[in-house]
Amino acid sequence: MSAERFTAVLLYGAPGVGKGTQGKILGQIPGFFHLSSGEVFRSMDIGSKLGKQVSESISRGELVPDDLTLQIWKQALNGQIATSQYKTHEDLLILDGIPRNVSQTELLNEYIDVRRVIHLVCTDEEAMVHRLKRRAFREHRADDANEEVIRHRFEVYREVTEPVIDCYAKELIADVDAVGSPAEVCRAILECVIPVQNEHFARQNL
């Protein structure tokens, strides 16, 4: 077990549901630090051995292998701590894109203390496919440009990632309607996470 487990909130939901968007918004608010596994993966040098492995998995719409995911995630988090971008005793850690399966959930328990799981819900899969295709055009994201790859990602989500929600106690899970403006969705999320942030601050000031 790690000497320190970081207090965290998970943004969870299907591809295109808005986890990254909401994470970015929250990350701009003092007292929150957002780390997106997807952004970490996409920022890697694809000429490196690790970068090539990650790029190949993402381009097929598949999950990056667990050991590789955890290795890269820990490196990224430690880098943010070392540069004081993430102040562990001041900031509430907001994660999206991890864990992606039950095995990762168990591995991450050594490093994070999950106090809330924000389950962003959108039952209209076609709307999310359309959102991902628009994002591919806007952000030049090759992994979202191919509709076949997108639909495979939804299959992987249903089979592999969706069971993650059952790994957490029901009282930790908050369903949030992902349909609406980013501001509306963010307001609903804040109602769920502000008490967690207040509790985190209170513990650090004891």
Average pLDDT over residues 141-152: 78
Amino acid 185: pLDDT: 96
- Decide if 1 is inside a domain: no
Residue 175 burial (CB < 10 Å; 0-12/13-18/19+)?
middle
Average pLDDT over residues 24-36: 96
Amino acid sitting at position 132: L
Residue 111 burial (CB < 10 Å; 0-12/13-18/19+)?
middle
Round the average pLDDT of the chain to a whole number and report it. 89
Tell me the per-residue pLDDT of 59-111, one tens digit each, with 9 for 90 and over: 787 878 898 899 999 999 999 999 999 999 899 999 999 999 999 999 999 99
Residue located via tokens 């804040």: 190
In the chain, which ranges are E strands? 6-12, 32-36, 92-96, 112-121, 173-177
Q: How many independent structural domains does the chain possess?
A: 1
Both tokens of 21, joined, read 């968007």
- Decide if 133 is inside a domain: yes
Q: Does residue 99 have a cis peptide bond before it, meaning omega lies within 30 degrees of 0?
A: yes
Which is nearest to 95 in space by CA: 172, 16, 176, 27?
A: 27
Which of left, alpha, beta for 61 (phi over 0: left; psi -120 to 50: alpha)? left
| 30/28 Cα distance (integer angstroms) | 6
- Decide if 175 is inside a domain: yes
Residue 24 belongs to domain spanning: 6-204
Backbone angles phi, psi at 181, to 5 degrees: -70, 155
Look at the alpha carbons of 46, 50, 56, 57 in this order and tell me if their dihedral is positive or negative: negative
Which is nearest to 167 in space by CA: 4, 3, 5, 12?
A: 12
Q: Which residue has the higher pLDDT, 134 or 154?
A: 154
- Decide if 199 is inside a domain: yes
CATH number of domain containing 117: 3.40.50.300
Amino acid 28: pLDDT: 96
| 103/87 Cα distance (integer angstroms) | 27
